[in-house]
Amino acid sequence: MNFDKQEFVHELISPNASKIVLLVMDGIGDLPNEEGVTPLMKANTPNLDKLAQLSDLGQTIPVMHGITPGSGPGHLGLFGYDPIKYQIGRGILEALGEDIEVGELDVVARGNFATIDGDIVVDRRAGRPSTEESAKVVEKLNANIKEIEGVKVTFYPGKEHRFVLKLTGEGLSDNIEDADPQKEGKPIKYTTALSPEAEKTARIVNKLLEKIKEVLKDEPKMNFALVRGFSKYPKLPQFPEVYKLRAGAIAVYPMYKGLAKLVGMTIIPTGQTIEDEIETLKKEWNNYDFFFVHIKKTDSYGEDGKFDEKVHVIENVDKVIPEILALNPDVLVVTGDHSTPCAMKGHSFHPVPIMFFAKHTRRGLSKAFNEFECARGTIGTIHATDVMNLILAYSGRLEKFGA
């Protein structure tokens, strides 16, 4: 029996007028530092802590125990999609987030400008250049690399060190390995075909990497590119139809807008700051039932190992919590898509703290919102794919199952 949770839950949904906010602080989970505290514990968060006293707390497993998730699987799980069943390349998320048209003949990938010394990757993010600086290098690539073996090559600028690569031509496959060693201090990694039909695409990508290396050889920092998440356009069940919700997404970074768009959420234009995102939430409050609000910098500072900066972002989120509550949401969920410990400078397998604020909670056990309070919270440890079920239940949208 091929049991599908989404199909099962869909049959139990009874729409109502409730309002739901899913606030995702990317990479929020962390590990204690030498003082024995995580950024969540160190941060001055009176509003989140007060909310915790009125909420059900727990922790989520994004994919399965011990598995370190990427941001795509982490968010898909929160949206109720089995990330093992729906394996989505990062490239399509980035491309859709940048409003790049992706057709049947296209393969897209997410790129990082990087710094190499010889053939060794010394900085995977090229010092995090500004978006404007990065866009100039994208122009340089487009001017010098237009086609390989009859396949059209196009580069699109992203935010900071990121860009999108699109290959257009007959017979292309996305079944190739990432061309990214994932860690600094390692040699350049070329791609490999994972199936015979992908050999042409792998060969073109490797030729492209050599061309990029030549074109950018005089750039002081952005002198190479790492490319990963090769993908064609996938088809997923659409979130608004599955959950019978008018769903809007408020996010700054392209990848998260792309992911929301892929599952059928409406992308709501917003400004660049946390405050801008909350102002957008207020403005659009009457137009949607469900809001996905994404905060990126908690993850960025975790990846850079910047403990104090991660603390600061958490404190900035805490300041806007009263503004969200003033809208009187029926359900407010605060969580992350995965953990990004500063000590590890990357995503990790550790459980992710989560908090459900709603009318019918077993409140009173928890005193604050942090990893350890969540670990002993009333919800316990759950899979991220169950978060949407709980959201629907807390909002009164699920009918009783069975007689």
329-352 average pLDDT score: 97
Which pLDDT does position 235 carry in this prediction? 85
At position 73, the amino acid (one-letter code) is: P
Q: Three-class SS of residue 113?
A: strand
Comparing 61-65, 101-105, 286-290, 385-389, the range with the smallest average pLDDT is 101-105
Check whether 1 has a pLDDT greater than 50. no
How does pLDDT run across 157-182, given as a tens digit for each residue? 988 999 999 999 999 999 999 999 99
Which segments within 181-232 are labelled E, that is strand? Answer: 224-231
Beta bridge partners of 89: none
Give the pairing type, strands 147-148 and 20-25: unpaired
How does pLDDT run across 20-71, given as a tens digit for each residue? 999 999 999 999 999 999 999 999 999 999 999 999 999 999 999 999 999 9
Q: Cβ(19)–Cβ(286) under 8 Å? A: no
Q: Which residues neighbour 378 within 8 Å (Cβ) at sequence distance 6 or greater?
A: 56, 57, 58, 361, 362, 365, 366
336-355 average pLDDT score: 97
Cα–Cα distance list, 280 to 2, 47, 212, 272, 285 (Å): 40, 20, 39, 11, 8
Tokens at 121, concatenated: 């990757």
How would residue 2 be classed by pLDDT, with cut points 50, 70 and 90? low
Q: Cβ(73)–Cβ(352) under 8 Å? A: no
What domains appear along the chain, each with residue ranges and CATH number? 5-88+236-394 (3.40.720.10), 93-231 (no CATH)
* Full-model pTM: 0.81
CA nearest neighbour of 388 among 348, 341, 354? 354
